[in-house]
Chains A and B, each alone.
Chain A
């Protein structure tokens, strides 16, 4: 993205890494990217397990009107991201009947809920577009909101990301075991006295927080790259929850670092590289598993 600004990649890896850390904005981008990748990995893993990809995607898109509205009103965009994503999480939780797989899973029957989520999503995007039109004349800003930018991340933003991420991880730590139980088998969990419905709301709020964080780096449209792909890759590699979680987080962080590094040395946007690396890992894992099933 700033390849023209004097950064040159060479085969000297040490020198490349030194160049990466040369500028403060890049250090901040790496910090922010790492924080975001860890949270996205953990929460994304549960999201894939609960088959709530559609709800996650919708929450991510809701960040766009939030940020656009905040810019229009002259407030910090982070307020818009967090406010709108949390609000939408509560709306979706209210719409839903609770339980894993209810949010528009593709294998499901006709679900009224998925139509509702679709409407929330399109309406949110339309509102974002309205705010942009009302604000007038920041068309390149739209692309940054939608497709992400890693330039110009301040120390303050990194701190906010860190605090929110820590809070989200504490909540995951606290509800992790019952959440896993409720995600794998909601009926049995409910019968054993686990508050499935309450957990569903907690998880959606957590998802809202996460996508609000990730959106600020990858842009509204590419949140999925960090949320779904590492988790989906890990699920092809292992069935064990703990290992799966670790693999997911490691993949998310690796993909983010690689994406940032390559985007730094080329004129192309970070979104493309992060999604491409994550997708390559996913395809690789799926193909390996397929081969093993065939041969073994």
Chain B
């Protein structure tokens, strides 16, 4: 326990906790809608776009974050824009992101061959994150971005929920379903770009899908599920960071994903318990 508390003496651990918490809250909130709208595959595609965005920025010698945010937000909005009612077809998504990844491979090889100092490690940290390498400035940016995401979710939450549950009725009642779909995927893009820096492009889907999937299994009430989703994401991040501090050979992004997966797996036990309880009382 003291060993676990002692880790806060290190500034890089504090930065990781600040950034990790902010990213987890944003991903948990947005992830709830991603799962509710059946757009997990879209989130998956955006995470791969983030790879290419970051690698392109590296290849051209720009700050990786510029590439990340530009690519995920633009592609997210484009996917929503081309699709019927703001939800893209999965074959289209699959074709586009396979090609985008192909571009990413090209940028990676350009980066590796053109810069003598560059090596495969850069690609690996884009893919799997480097949360312990974040500076105080990164952590502050992450917190600001997350605050923005929370405000945005608070603003569009109600109509988005309506449109997600029943888009026909929502459209009939005058909710701008299509615009909401585009705005929402832009928001997912922001979260994807932010989360790439912490857990890596390939693992951010976990932060979107696992807490939200778990929350949706535990409760049917939207606002409780929304907060539960953010709570589980934060708990998984803290648990993962602590575990990777105590077990130095375990990379933090693996630990975070493992905790989140375990929470999701545990929720499969819950409904059965409830159901057998209610049938026993009848």
Contacts and interface: CB of A to CB of B under 8 A. Distances in A.
A127 to B, nearest CB: 7
B217 A112 contact: yes
A275 B203 contact: no
B38 A111 contact: yes
B211 to A, nearest CB: 10
Interface stretch (B4-12, B61-69, B100-108): B100-108
Interface stretch (B15-23, B70-78, B172-180, B252-260): B252-260
B194 interface: no
Contacts of B217: 112
Contact of A112 (B89, B123, B213): B213
A115 B123 contact: no
A105 B91 CA distance: 9
Interface string A17-58: 000000000000000000000000000000010010110010
A108 interface: yes
Interface size classification for chain B:
35 or more
Contacts of A108: 38
Interface size classification for chain A:
35 or more
Contact of B40 (A117, A221, A267, A274): A117
Interface stretch (A184-192, A223-231, A242-250): A223-231
Contacts of B202: 61, 122, 125, 129
A50 to B, nearest CB: 11
Q: Is the interface of A mostly helix, strand, loop or mixed?
A: helix
Contacts of B48: 221
Contacts of A273: 102
A273 B137 CA distance: 38
Interface string B82-114: 010001111111111111011101101110010
Nearest to A143: B120
A134 interface: yes
Given A54-B44, A268-B106, A229 B38 contact: no
Nearest to B256: A126
B264 A119 contact: yes
